[in-house]
């Protein structure tokens, strides 16, 4: 059956084929493939990482080996003065090393807890820390977090710059790994603590311990001191306790919290150590120019972003504005204990001073204290104090002048006043009513400064000092700043910079010490770019100089600062607020300038208390100003203050009127005022106030060129006060107020209301009782007599002769046909014959026919009228015609005078007068007692006040310049 086997022959098998679909079959991704790729990638990454690690190790070891000598410090930097002469060397000379065995455990724990909590666990690189730092860098989009371990910090400090770049970071890591390979953890920590910078020119933890606490043996340090040291390396200039005690304390609290959280200390230990306040050491090194050198380091960091550690190692050449002579003189002055008060039991009196060059703002010299030590408390820039009255010029007077409404001669109120609960007082308790700005500044009077700031607005003052570089606290929005009452105070440097704009025509230069910095190879690293800012007009600056020159002249508060050069300046003091010691001070200031330099001096105690306060003369700061400036400028050519172009000369105000006199003239109901003239081109402003008014009004009652005024508007009984202010008509500058004169206007029942015209003036009682006969009343105050002889009444009532007299309505005397006697307060009516002069009223002459006067003029009769002593002569017998102010027509008979009012005559018939003047009948008149200027028998110049018939009257209020040629309207004075 072998023939039937088809498979063996191969030709019996049937072949079949499938048609092509035209699509490729999709390959499936299996878990195995993913695992395979992951394995391969991981292997490649591991190989790369291993390569990188090997490179880092090799590279780090190579760098460490090549630069092992860099554990020592680099080249020192040099400081040059204004003449490009070397004056100081900056190097890390303050370094002391310790062995690991000398480092106490808690000090070690403090640094590890703060700087590198996994120090004992990592091999130089903390990848968790790097990851944390990387996240922060990504979020901030810049290199803000280093994530460095203690080993990395050592690598950076020794071998690298402070730049935060990825390349530098990688190099730092490689060196850190190499360090970990070569040294133990104890050795690394020892090198770190001996190498790092602790501020105040202290390198290493032992030098820092001696600098800040005076302790050489680290095992003697207390926990709070250890934490303070551990707080510094993050930012040495910010967190060292001398420079910034408050920030240092805050940072110390952070360190203690980290130590407690990591189990190094208990909560009780943390709380106790956090509460301690740092007290700086006294004494120390006193190298020449020390304050200035330290300020240069501070400015290099703050203005040019060069860290102090870099300066100490970088070999820089720093060119400054230092004047070595001025600096030495300043330091010698501050070493003279005679210029300061006796030391307190726990503190000595302190002081600071700064001198600036007016031309460019360069710091000429600076001292931070009497016992200033290297990197100590620089009181010139780090200790703001209350400026007292030295702040008035900046916040009140200068901004007021800048507004254009005031000049140095402007008059300011000097009155005790309450400003919504704020009650400023003058230091001497004296209030002058009004003073010029010159006097207010010269004598440092408080009330005018506060009143001026209140007038211009507190915001104006705040904005003005902000332009001067002094930004006030939000709580300073009140009038107390006029007297230097600030929330935070100001520094000596700030005050010097602000005042330097006055001698510089209103331009302020930013205060600076560094002019330029060169690298070690001589290339320019950075330079000061002078910032000049116009903060006030040249006119304001010039006027301020005029004001402040007065302060150092005789009578000013700053005479102790004057020396043989042009000097201007301002004193300042702040009152002690301790009970029983209010007469003493907390602070003394003098800020002043010559045409070349501006200087500010502060004196006081660092901590004021009942045992430490200023008891010396308030001129102490001015004495130091003179002592330093006079000697420091001795080699500098003397110049003068020069008035800027376009600034007008100051016109001096008129002299003050000192002899104002006033009296009330009862008869004419007039206040008569007079004073002596003070020169040409002067007018006088008269101000008046009554007893109900607290202050004189802002607008004058009258402006006149005369030196005599009659005020007829003071009509109500009261006590009136008057002052006179002279004004120069050319410059429109006002002088000071005159002396104040008080005038009492008394009640006068014998006169009617001067504003209501009517009858004549009544006597003391006003009503006349007639004798026998039938008397008819006058029309407007005229008494019609009856027959008979009237006798005078007692108190204004005249009792006539036979007949019945009816009273007049206004108090005018009507004569009979005989002899009239004078009334005591009104008008005398004559009989026939010769008229004798009245004593103050109207004299009626002898017989004749009288013609009407013009408002009280003389009516002549047919006789001879003799002049009265102050009024009008009325004629004698005949028929009198009425005057235009009212005439009384007489009847026959004899009238006797009343004692204070109108006289009623004897028998006859009288006709009514029209307003109060008396027309005579026949008889003889005797003198009356009322003040009218007399004329002759024919009558002239009637009714003029004061003077005789031919005189001119003084000035009348509301009719300025009127003479005696025209009488007043009837009944009006």
Q: How many Cβ atoms sit within 10 Å of the Cβ of residue 577? A: 9
3-state secondary structure of 734: strand
Strands 682-689 and 718-728: antiparallel
Q: Tell me whether the omega of the peptide bond preceding residue 156 falls within 30 degrees of 0, making it cis.
A: no
Strands 411-414 and 433-436: antiparallel
Residues with Cβ within 8 Å of residue 429, at least 6 apart in sequence: none
- Is 725 within 8 Å of 685 (Cβ atoms)? yes
Provide, for the chain, the percentages of residues in helix, strand and coil under a 3-state DSSP scheme, each rounded to the nearest 5: 30, 15, 55
Give start and end residues of each alpha helix (H) in 275-411: 290-304, 308-314, 324-334, 379-382, 392, 398-403
Residue pair 345/568 in contact (Cβ under 8 Å)? The answer is: no
**Considering only CA atoms, which of 181, 121, 170, 175 is closest in space to residue 147?**
170
Q: How long is the chain?
A: 973
Question: Contact, 821 vs 830, CB < 8 A?
Answer: no
Residue 187 CA to chain centroid, in angstroms? 60
Catalytic residue among 248, 389, 618, 674: 389
- 932: three-class secondary structure by DSSP: coil
Provide the β-strand partners of residue 568.
593
Interior angle at CA 639, CA 635 and CA 643, nearest 5: 160
Residue 292 sits at φ, ψ, to 5 deg, of: -65, -45
389 part of the active site: yes
DSSP collapsed to 3 states, 818-863: CCECCCCCCCCCCCCCCECCCCCCEECCCECCECCCCCCCCCCCEC
How far from the centroid of its chain's Cα atoms is residue 218's Cα?
Answer: 51
Residue 475 host element (H or E): none
Q: Which two tokens stand for residue 286?
A: 């006193």
CB atoms within 10 A of CB 944: 21
Q: What are phi and psi of 570, to 5 degrees?
A: -145, 135
Q: How far apart are CA 940 and CA 259, in angstroms?
A: 112
Contact 844, 920 (CB under 8 A): yes
**CA–CA distance, 871 with 881 (Å, rounded to integer):** 18
Count H helices and E strands in the chain, helices first: 24, 28
E strands along 869-911, which residues?
Answer: 872-873, 887-888
Active-site position among 77, 115, 331, 667: 115
d(CA 794, CA 764): 9
Catalytic residue flag (residue 500): no
Q: Report which of 810, 809, 797 is spatially closest to residue 895, judged by C-alpha positions.
A: 797
- Quick one: DSSP state of residue 144? -
Residue with tokens 């190298």: 287
- Crossing angle for the helix pair 105-115 and 245-261, to the nearest 10 degrees: 90
Cα distance between residue 74 and residue 608, in whole Å: 44
Most distant CA atoms of the chain, gap in Å: 207
Tokens linked to 555: 């009578």
Tokens standing for 958? 């509301």
With CA atoms as reference, report the closest residue to 532 among 495, 506, 493. Answer: 506
Return the closest-CA partner of residue 775 out of 863, 880, 892. 892
End-to-end CA gap in the chain = 174
* Residues taking part in catalysis: 115, 389
């Amino acid at each position: 059956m072998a023939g039937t086997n088809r498979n063996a022959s191969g030709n019996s098998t049937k072949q079949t084929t499938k048609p092509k679909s035209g699509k490729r079959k999709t390959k499936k991704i299996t878990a195995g493939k993913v695992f395979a790729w992951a394995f391969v990638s991981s292997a490649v990454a591991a190989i790369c990482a291993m390569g990188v690690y090997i490179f880092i190790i090799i590279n780090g070891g190579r760098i460490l080996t090549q630069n092992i000598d860099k554990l020592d410090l680099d080249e020192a930097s040099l400081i040059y003065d204004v003449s490009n002469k070397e004056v100081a060397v900056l190097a890390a000379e303050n370094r002391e090393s310790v062995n690991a065995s000398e480092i106490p455990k808690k000090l070690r724990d403090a640094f590890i807890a703060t700087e590198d909590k996994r120090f004992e666990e990592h091999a130089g690189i903390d990848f968790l820390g790097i990851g944390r730092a990387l996240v922060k860098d990504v979020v901030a989009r810049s290199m803000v977090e280093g994530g460095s371990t203690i080993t990395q910090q050592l690598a950076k400090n020794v071998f690298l710059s402070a730049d935060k770049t990825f390349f530098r970071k990688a190099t730092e890591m490689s060196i850190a790994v190499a360090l970990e390979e070569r040294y133990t953890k104890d050795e690394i920590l020892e090198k770190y603590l001996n190498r790092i910078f602790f501020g105040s020119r202290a390198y290493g933890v032992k030098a820092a311990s001696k600098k800040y606490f005076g302790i050489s043996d680290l095992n003697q340090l207390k926990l709070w001191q250890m934490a303070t040291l551990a707080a510094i390396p993050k930012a040495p200039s910010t967190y060292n306790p001398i420079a910034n005690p408050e920030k240092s304390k805050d940072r110390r609290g952070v360190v203690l919290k980290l130590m407690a959280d990591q189990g190094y200390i208990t909560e009780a230990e943390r709380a106790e150590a956090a509460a301690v306040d740092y007290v700086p050491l006294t004494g120390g090194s006193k190298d020449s120019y020390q304050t200035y050198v330290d300020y240069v380091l501070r400015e290099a960091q703050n203005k040019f972003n060069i860290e102090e550690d870099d300066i100490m190692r970088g070999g820089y050449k720093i060119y400054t504005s230092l004047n070595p002579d001025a600096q030495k003189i300043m330091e010698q002055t501050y070493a003279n204990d005679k210029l300061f008060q006796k030391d307190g039991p726990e503190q000595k009196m302190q002081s600071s001073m700064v001198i600036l060059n007016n031309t460019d703002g360069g710091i000429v010299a600076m001292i931070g204290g009497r016992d200033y030590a290297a990197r100590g408390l620089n009181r010139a820039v780090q200790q703001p104090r209350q400026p007292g009255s030295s702040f008035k010029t900046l916040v009140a007077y200068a901004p007021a002048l800048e507004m254009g409404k005031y000049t140095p001669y402007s008059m300011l109120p000097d009155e005790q006043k309450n400003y919504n609960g704020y009650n400023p007082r003058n230091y001497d308790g004296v209030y002058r009513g009004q003073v010029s700005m010159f006097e207010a500044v010269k004598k440092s009077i408080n009330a005018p400064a506060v009143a001026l700031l209140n007038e211009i607005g507190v915001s104006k003052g705040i904005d003005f000092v902000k332009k001067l570089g002094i930004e006030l606290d939000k709580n300073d929005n009140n009038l107390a700043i006029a007297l230097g009452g600030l929330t935070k105070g100001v520094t000596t440097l700030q005050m010097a910079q602000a005042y330097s704009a006055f001698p510089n025509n209103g331009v302020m230069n930013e205060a600076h010490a560094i002019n330029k910095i060169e690298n070690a190879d001589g290339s320019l690293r950075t330079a000061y770019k002078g910032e000049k800012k116009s903060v006030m007009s040249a006119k304001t600056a010039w006027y301020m100089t005029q004001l402040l020159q007065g302060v150092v002249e005789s009578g000013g508060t700053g005479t102790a600062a004057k020396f043989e050069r042009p000097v201007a300046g301002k004193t300042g003091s702040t009152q002690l607020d301790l009970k029983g010691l209010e007469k003493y001070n907390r602070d003394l200031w003098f800020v002043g300038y010559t045409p070349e330099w501006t200087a500010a001096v502060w004196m006081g105690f660092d901590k004021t208390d009942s045992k430490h306060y200023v008891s010396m003369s308030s001129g102490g700061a001015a004495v130091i100003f003179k002592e330093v400036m006079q000697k420091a400028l001795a080699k500098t050519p003397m110049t003068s203050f020069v008035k800027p172009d376009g600034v007008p000369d100051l016109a001096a105000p008129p002299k003050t009127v000192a002899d104002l006199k006033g009296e009330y003239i009862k008869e004419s109901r007039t206040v008569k005022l007079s004073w002596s003239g003070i020169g040409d081109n002067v007018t006088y402003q008269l101000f008046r106030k009554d007893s109900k008014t607290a202050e004189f009004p802002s607008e004058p009652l009258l402006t006149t060129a005369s030196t005599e005024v009659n005020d007829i508007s003071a009509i109500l009984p009261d006590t009136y006060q008057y002052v006179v202010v002279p004004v120069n008509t050319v410059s429109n500058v006002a002088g000071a107020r005159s002396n104040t004169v008080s005038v009492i206007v008394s009640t006068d029942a014998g006169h009617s209301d001067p504003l209501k015209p009517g009858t004549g003036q009544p006597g003391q009682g006003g009503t006349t009782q007639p004798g026998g006969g039938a008397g008819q009343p006058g029309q407007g105050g005229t008494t019609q007599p009856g027959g008979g002889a009237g006798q005078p009444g007692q108190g204004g009532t005249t009792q006539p002769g036979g007949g019945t007299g009816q009273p007049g309505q206004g108090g005018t005397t009507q004569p009979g046909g005989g002899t009239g006697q004078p009334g005591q307060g009104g008008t005398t009516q004559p009989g026939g014959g010769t008229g004798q002069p009245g004593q103050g009223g109207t004299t009626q002459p002898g017989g004749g026919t009288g013609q009407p006067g013009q408002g009280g003029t003389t009516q002549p009769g047919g006789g001879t009228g003799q002049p009265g002593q102050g009024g009008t002569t009325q004629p004698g017998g005949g028929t009198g015609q009425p005057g235009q102010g009212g005439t009384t027509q007489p009847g026959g008979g004899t009238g006797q005078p009343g004692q204070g009012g109108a006289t009623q005559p004897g028998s006859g018939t009288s006709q009514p007068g029209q307003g109060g003047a008396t027309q005579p009948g026949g008889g003889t008149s005797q003198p009356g007692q009322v003040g009218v200027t007399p004329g002759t028998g024919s009558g002239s110049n009637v009714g003029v006040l004061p003077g005789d018939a031919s005189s001119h009257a003084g000035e009348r209020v509301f009719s300025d310049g009127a003479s005696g040629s025209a009488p007043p309207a009837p009944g009006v004075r």
